[in-house]
Structure 1
Amino acid sequence: MISGNAVAGLLKPIKSNGMPQTIYIHVSEFCITCILFLVQKRVRAMEWSSCLSLFLAASTCVVKSQDDQMPPKMNSSFNNAYFYPRNTTLTAATINCKAINGQIKYEWKKDGDVIKNNKYVSVNVSTGTLKFVQMHDADYGTYQCFATNDHGTAISKPFNINESKLLPFPTSGFKEVNCTQYEHCKIPCRDKPPCIPYSQCRVVWKIGEGTEVEFTKRVGVDSNGDLHLLWSNTRDWTGLLYMCGVWHKQMNKSVWGSETYLRIVQATHTSEIRPFRVFRKNGTTLIGKKGVLSCMFAGYPSPEVEWISPTNKTIKDTPGKYEISDFGRVLTILQAEPEFEGDYTCKGKGKESDACSVFLNVTSAPILKGDNQMKDVTVSTGENATFLCNVSSLPMELPPSPPKWKKNGVDLDIGGGWKYIMIDNNRVLTVTDVQNVSDTGVYQCMSENSEGVLLKEAILKVNVSKLNSIDNLNTVSGSVNVIIIFLAVGGSILLIVSIVGIGICLVKRHRKGTYSITNVTANGT
């Protein structure tokens, strides 16, 4: 609060001939809605041209940026799931939540309950950071971030935090595999233990206690972990056991098992063996993520591998689109879109060739179809506001659930009234007779299918009703003598300075940040 003496000290009269005057000034962009600044000591006399000084004095206390007047908007995206190991000191277990618009306070919830800081889990309410030092049973579950300012609450989509794990191989004796020189030989990785998440896991093989098997054009491992000698060499028989191992990158841990004794029978003669498929693996991926397909051909000598797209075009390494690895046996679509879905052809080529079909399924959580879906809306008091959330699934996917609606992270109370009207199986929400304080906020639409959850937000901003004349101002009485009112009027900003017993002046924003101050009347208010 600024005292009467402080205001009086800032007022420096500007010479006036008694006629209404307009003075143009340039200030930083701002938007204030219905702010009252009261000076409790009487200002007995004042030149109306001093409105400019009074405006500047008041604005130093109450002017805020336009963003400060808006509900928050979530600015972070989140994975469907995060994985951390149990009972391990974590060094990079931080999830950031960021929203824009004004001063924001953050809150995290797990399984619907607010997270309270402890020595293992902490939330920074100012930055939105969720940090784990060590995971325990109670820390795994469904998480969601809430970002709140004075005008509403934005929320993240819910996501899971699951346990990273790598179990040991079961105890078992070795087995023997017999193969013939130049022919295909497969050594299974028996009883391979679960390794979660798959993206952090890799199968490796070794011979004896320390010699790692090198993967080459002739030797490879499939996505099940089985080792393939695409044609067998007598040097593959060393007299030592082959062992399958699983390496977990995040946990920096490996486990070993599936001991196998390999015997290679020498061939009586050498002849070419035409390519033939010994492995293929279809792929499934989400829109925007990597899709991985694999195939493997045996033969002597080792076949070349070629990939052909669903549009019958030969695929080469293409930055940002395709990556071919593992001697041609693995094709990675780097950023999958629905048009990448389909049957890919994998060819094993020698003097003769063989081919197989490998399918890529591109899937997604529910998507929005159509124009103007979940767009921010600005309306005037008393008008209706409509939000569209036309959820759909990709072709060949199960349909999404009907949308559920929230406001500021809380389920809408539809009740039996007419405040909220939903039609088209909840895909259209109308907020009727919009009021500034009660209806301003962030509206959320949620839907899910077998592949994930869609959460989209839109802001409802309410304009204060237009001011038609100064007669709309309420009469002020009592000990309050100076009132400064900021009003949003359509697309403009109007500052009304009312001094009891003296008169009113108006300050209006013009384009490019220019404002005018006008002495309207010298009559009492």
Structure 2
Amino acid sequence: MELGKLMQFILVANILLGAHFLHFPPRISSVFQPEYFLDSSCTLSLRCQGLNDVISYRWYQYGSQIKGDAEIATNKNTGELVISKICTKQNLGIFYCIAENKYGSTMSPFVKISELVLKNVGRTQNPYVTCKENEHCQLKCTGKPICEPQNECTVSWYQGTGTTNVIKRNKSTAIDLEGNLHFLNVRKISGNKTYACGIWNQRIRNLVKGISITLNINNSIAAPLPRAIYHSRSKALLGGNAILQCIFSKIFVPGIKWKNPQGSYITTNDKYRIGPYGRQLQVMNVTYNDEGHYSCEANNLTQTPFLNVTSPPIFPENNSRFLIKTINISTDYAVNLNCNAVSSPTEKAPIVTRWMKNGILIRSFQDFDIQLLDNNSVLRIYRKRFEHAGAFQCVTENSEGIAVANFIIESEDVKGKDNKLMIIMILLVVSLVTLVTLGVIIRKRIYQRNKKWRRKTEVNTDIYTLPSEEFDEHQRRSYEEIRLEEMYSTLEEANSNHMTRCSEDHVGNNNTEVEDIGEYNGLRYQCQNGEVRPSENIYDRTNNVVSGIYDSTSMQTVINVYTI
């Protein structure tokens, strides 16, 4: 695990080292949503981050640099944008960030900051609606409250004052995607009552009602016929989900069948979901191929709701609204920077609204030998010697949003080629040193592991030791220890022989105890006066010591004296 982390660290170090030597402007790494909504506390924090030796950050609102005040604060070192607890219109709008180092600047995606909204519109007198019994009756959501973001808002209908009596969707009652209420076959019992729509905002967690409507029901002369009364025209962003709707009137409406734009019948699966009573069709993860007219059929009636798949400008290189691209430019030739973002196939092409150099708007082309082509979508650079490497930016827009492209310029000349070769050589040397270092570390760890294993083997007495290892251990003992062991071994052997001989001699002689003691004392006297040669060893059993010099190498007969 530690070696893996070390290798990852060295790899990242090599990449950062290479990025440093390449002298490139920063690369924005932050991912922003297209739109943010201030919550009820009116606070929001965004952080802009870049790679390649970022020195500082700047935030802009509507193209003007934010200086920082009590409501909006920025940090040039961390790239953070903080909106305080003061809710004002000055906190809203279009924002973007510039990341800068000494080699140039790049621009972040554009971000829209909006406020959460749920409020009533102007009040009017309560309207009256008259319908015929058993026929279709529609009540429009009059005074519909404004609600943002729309994907967090839901519509409900209520009878009378307050919010207790909720009108439920069923086979004879429907609410369309615009918030209108439909009685598919209204009855007398529903008349002479007031109704009002209400909007619930999930983010704010609050409900606001619209204007109340009084409904009157008249008698019907003829039996009504089934009618196709509503179909939606829906819009969805590329990659999102879409909802289409069809509503038919009559008491008993047979099941609604759906067809896709290619004319094939639809069933519920991972791509499509059909809602209750067959009135709604949900299309999941829409693509441009999902755009077109759908068909909903019931009782020989057909309606054709339309789905429009749209998106902000998208760059084909990465299918995103944000692009960072490195352009290699030769000093002897012109280069074209193509801001080639596209819209939905059925919509108008995006419009390039501005070109920038290192985050600064190009107001005049006199400072650069450049030319705009193809409705400002192509920037051509003609400079004979491109001395200022850095980055150019294009900003392009359509009805659904804004896209940004960063073109990082790499100027290549003879010196540049030599520098690139030097960089490659440096990286190769660093990689080689890395491999050698890893080899040494691995070898050292293997040696330490084996050494630790040998130690465990020596400590364990149950493990069999080879004779060679025993001999080695014997060799490691000192000379004095070996000599001492041999001496005591010889003494024991001499003692044993002495006992045997004495026993035999004692049995065979007729000396008395007094005579034996006298003979022993005589020999002892001779030893003490130096009359006995060093080779004649005398073992004194009386005091259990050697009386004389013990010579283990002597081949002479040992004089044994046994004391009874």
TM class, shorter-length: 0.5 to 0.7
Find 1:458's aligned residue among 394, 407, 416: 407
Find 1:490's aligned residue among 421, 438, 444: 421
Residue 395 (structure 2) pairs with residue 446 (structure 1): yes
Q: CA RMSD in A?
A: 4.0
> Which residues in structure 2 correspond to 1:45-194 (within 5 Å)?
64=17, 66=19, 69-84=23-38, 88-90=40-42, 93-103=44-54, 105-132=56-83, 133-168=85-120, 170-179=122-131, 182-194=134-146
Secondary structure at the counterpart of residue 224 of structure 1 = coil
CA contact (8 A) 2:14 2:430 kept: no
CA contact (8 A) 1:366 1:454 kept: yes
Find 1:277's aligned residue among 203, 228, 236: 228
Alpha carbons of 1:70 and 1:240: their partners in 2 closer, same or farther (altered >3 Å)? same
Query: 2 CA distance for matches of 1:191 and 1:467?
Result: 67
Q: Deviations over 1:456-479 (max 9, x none)?
A: 1222234574599xxxxxxxxxxx
Residue 179 (structure 2) pairs with residue 206 (structure 1): no
Following superposition, the deviation at residue 279 of structure 1 comes to 1.5
CA contact (8 A) 1:72 1:442 kept: no
Residue 305 (structure 2) pairs with residue 358 (structure 1): yes
Query: 2 CA distance for matches of 1:235 and 1:411?
Result: 67
> Which residues in structure 2 correspond to 1:111-510 (within 5 Å)?
111-132=62-83, 133-168=85-120, 170-179=122-131, 182-208=134-160, 209=162, 210-233=164-187, 236=190, 241-262=194-215, 275-319=226-270, 321-325=271-275, 327-347=277-297, 349=298, 352-368=299-315, 375-379=325-329, 385-402=335-352, 404-412=354-362, 415-416=365-366, 419-432=369-382, 438-462=387-411, 465-466=414-415, 488-490=419-421, 492-494=423-425, 508-510=426-428
Task: Quote the residue 2:504 is aligned against.
Answer: none
**Amino acid paired to 1:247:** W
Give the percent of matched residue pairs that are identical in Structure 1 and Structure 2: 27
**Amino acid paired to 1:340:** D
CA contact (8 A) 2:72 2:82 kept: yes
CA contact (8 A) 1:341 1:361 kept: yes
The structure in which a higher percent of residues are helix is 2
Following superposition, the deviation at residue 356 of structure 1 comes to 0.9
**Amino acid paired to 1:355:** T
Following superposition, the deviation at residue 335 of structure 1 comes to 2.9
Task: Quote the residue 2:546 is aligned against.
Answer: none
Query: 2 CA distance for matches of 1:379 and 1:511?
Result: 28
**Amino acid paired to 1:360:** L
Q: Deviations over 1:397-443 (max 9, x none)?
A: 3343356422221134763476434444444434456878x533222
Q: Deviations over 1:268-292 (max 9, x none)?
A: 99x8x65422212212333333333
Following superposition, the deviation at residue 131 of structure 1 comes to 3.3
Query: 2 CA distance for matches of 1:261 and 1:155?
Result: 56
Task: Quote the residue 2:476 is aligned against.
Answer: none
Q: Deviations over 1:187-231 (max 9, x none)?
A: 232232433343332221122331222222332211232211223
Following superposition, the deviation at residue 136 of structure 1 comes to 0.6
Following superposition, the deviation at residue 27 of structure 1 comes to 6.7
**Amino acid paired to 2:118:** L
Gaps of 5+ in 2: 1-8, 435-564
Query: 2 CA distance for matches of 1:248 and 1:145?
Result: 31
Query: 2 CA distance for matches of 1:189 and 1:27?
Result: 64
TM-score by length of 1: 0.67
Secondary structure at the counterpart of residue 212 of structure 2 = strand
Alpha carbons of 1:125 and 1:276: their partners in 2 closer, same or farther (altered >3 Å)? farther
Alpha carbons of 1:467 and 1:110: their partners in 2 closer, same or farther (altered >3 Å)? closer
The structure in which a higher percent of residues are strand is 1
CA contact (8 A) 2:28 2:50 kept: yes
Alpha carbons of 1:99 and 1:340: their partners in 2 closer, same or farther (altered >3 Å)? farther
Q: Deviations over 1:93-138 (max 9, x none)?
A: 3444343334453322112333244444333445544333332122
TM-score by length of 2: 0.63
CA contact (8 A) 2:123 2:143 kept: no
Following superposition, the deviation at residue 345 of structure 1 comes to 1.1
Query: 1 CA distance for matches of 2:429 and 2:233?
Result: 59
Secondary structure at the counterpart of residue 255 of structure 1 = strand
Alpha carbons of 1:399 and 1:383: their partners in 2 closer, same or farther (altered >3 Å)? closer
Q: Deviations over 1:154-196 (max 9, x none)?
A: 2134343334333325445545545455432322322324333
Query: 2 CA distance for matches of 1:328 and 1:67?
Result: 61
Following superposition, the deviation at residue 145 of structure 1 comes to 1.7
**Amino acid paired to 1:225:** G
Query: 2 CA distance for matches of 1:386 and 1:267?
Result: 72
Alpha carbons of 1:96 and 1:280: their partners in 2 closer, same or farther (altered >3 Å)? farther
Task: Quote the residue 1:514 is aligned against.
Answer: 432
